[in-house]
Structure 1
Amino acid sequence: MPALPPLQAAPLRCVLLVPVKPPAHGKSRLVGLGEDVRRRVAEAIALDTAQAAAATPGVEAVLVVTDDFRLASSMRALGCEVVPDGASEDLNATLVQAAVEAARRWPGTVPVALCADLPGLRPVELAQVLREVEQHARAGRSAFVPDRAGTGTTLYAAPAGHFDPQFGVGSAARHRDAGAVESGTAATSVRTDVDDLDDLDAALAAGVGPHTTRACAGRATRSG
């Protein structure tokens, strides 16, 4: 009797967990824009991040965590699922709760925390990163993507039972020290987060999504 071919492991599926502060409080380091403009830009950046995430092949779902009901409605219109923030003062606790909810709704998926400040995120690049982190999760390892500066983190993934994000100041070193594998270093759009005006100008120069383009029309012209 001929030997049977080896079974092929089923591809892992990802649920992207995207925590978003209410725009009234988000992106506080964008000083100099004026409060109304800052709120519009903060909302636009989050919407572009979520829209690109939802358009990425291999993504089972995008689960946005926010307490802003108006923003929640806009996120649902983009095809995202939304849950309230159960631990708004603690980002890592928020993400752990979101990962538990993702496991309940989409059993067998890999939870992937994605920062909501990537206005130039490209689905093709994110898909490449997800393939990398899925391979690590398949082997029982966690993985992270460092930000453009190399000190922060824009993406973290781990098997559902070992999901332990370490976001905050110096998070790249903490993730590395915890044994997470550094991934996606060539994926520029996955690493180009926006914290301050210099970051915003760099993102605008590289190209951003439609919401941020509209919110920053005048600034984009000056930057170009």
Structure 2
Amino acid sequence: MGTGVDLLVPVKMLHSAKSRLLGAADGGVGDRARHAQLVVALLLDTMSAARGADGVRRVIAVTSDLVVSAAVLAEGHTVLAEPPEGGLNTALRHGSEQLLAADSSVRVGALQADLPALRSDDLAEALVEAGAGRAFCADRQGTGTTMLIAASGSPLRPEFGVGSAARHAGSGAAPLAGRRPTLRCDVDTEDDLREAARLGLGEHTRAVLAARCHRDRHAC
């Protein structure tokens, strides 16, 4: 089936995704529809940048949200249904098992869905640094994980959640040392979003925030 990493990008149901960002797309009003647009925009910018990176074969969203699925498919990406029991690590284990069942030599990775400033070159360089082994990229705080890569033909073994960087290191994954700020800048809060904007947002996230600016000049 060719070479390169297959990246799984897990996405929660929109009603529960990115709760700490609620209000970021509407000047603090907390409009759920605007919030959903922002969550989808973060995802699409992440997937678009990942798809353009050398060393990436496929980028696959793992979700059961129909709105997310439709948006991902419209952009030409692939969707894998999340298992009924839910949960980030469960979804990633399920995706890893599905990909390995279809191709026992596949190299599976996991990428967080909230990297709107991601540049393809940063991701490509990280994959080169990872080499052939299991590796991970910590977030900019150094405690979380934005990307986890398994060795070819091996299960992903995700341990995402609070303190995941230490758990991934403890499980034998090599920490990537390169700076690559756009790969480390996941967005959980408005402060994170401002940092991502400083690095340079993707077109979908820019469009959502530009609409906010148009509605409320004081939000810009």
TM-score over 0.5 (shorter chain): yes
- 1:32 to 2:29 alignment: no
Q: TM-score, normalised by structure 1?
A: 0.85
- Moved runs in structure 1, 4+ residues, more than 6 A? 220-224
Distance, in Å, in 2 between the alignment partners of 1:106 and 1:184 is 30
* Displacement of 1:196: 0.6
Q: Which amino acid aligns with 2:148?
A: Y
Distance, in Å, in 1 between the alignment partners of 2:104 and 2:45 is 27
Q: Which amino acid aligns with 2:18?
A: K
Tell me which of 123, 128, 134 is aligned to 2:125: 128
2:144 match: 152
- What is the number of residues matched between the two proteins? 209
1:65 match: 62
* Displacement of 1:87: 4.9
| Identical-pair percentage | 37
User: Does the CA-based 8 Å contact 1:151-1:172 persist in structure 2?
Assistant: yes
Distance, in Å, in 2 between the alignment partners of 1:162 and 1:216 is 38
3-state DSSP of counterpart to 2:83 = coil
Give unmatched runs, 5+ long, in structure 2: 25-29
* Displacement of 1:73: 2.0
- 1:20 to 2:46 alignment: no
Distance, in Å, in 2 between the alignment partners of 1:55 and 1:173 is 29
User: Does the CA-based 8 Å contact 1:147-1:153 persist in structure 2?
Assistant: yes
Aligned counterparts, 1:174-213, within 5 A? 174-183=167-176, 185-213=178-206
Aligned-residue RMSD, C-alpha: 2.2
Change (3 A) 1:104 1:80: farther
User: Does the CA-based 8 Å contact 2:89-2:160 persist in structure 1?
Assistant: yes
User: Does the CA-based 8 Å contact 2:138-2:145 persist in structure 1?
Assistant: yes
Distance, in Å, in 2 between the alignment partners of 1:29 and 1:65 is 21
1:163 match: 156
Bigger drift between 155-164 and 169-178 goes to: 155-164
Q: Deviations over 1:59-113 (max 9, x none)?
A: 1111110111222122123221111101553211211110121223444221010
- 1:75 to 2:85 alignment: no
1:4 match: none
Larger Rg: 1
2:27 match: none
Give unmatched runs, 5+ long, in structure 1: 1-10
Q: TM-score, normalised by structure 2?
A: 0.87
Q: Deviations over 1:136-173 (max 9, x none)?
A: 42xxxx21000011110000011232421110000011
Tell me which of 202, 209, 212 is aligned to 1:216: 209
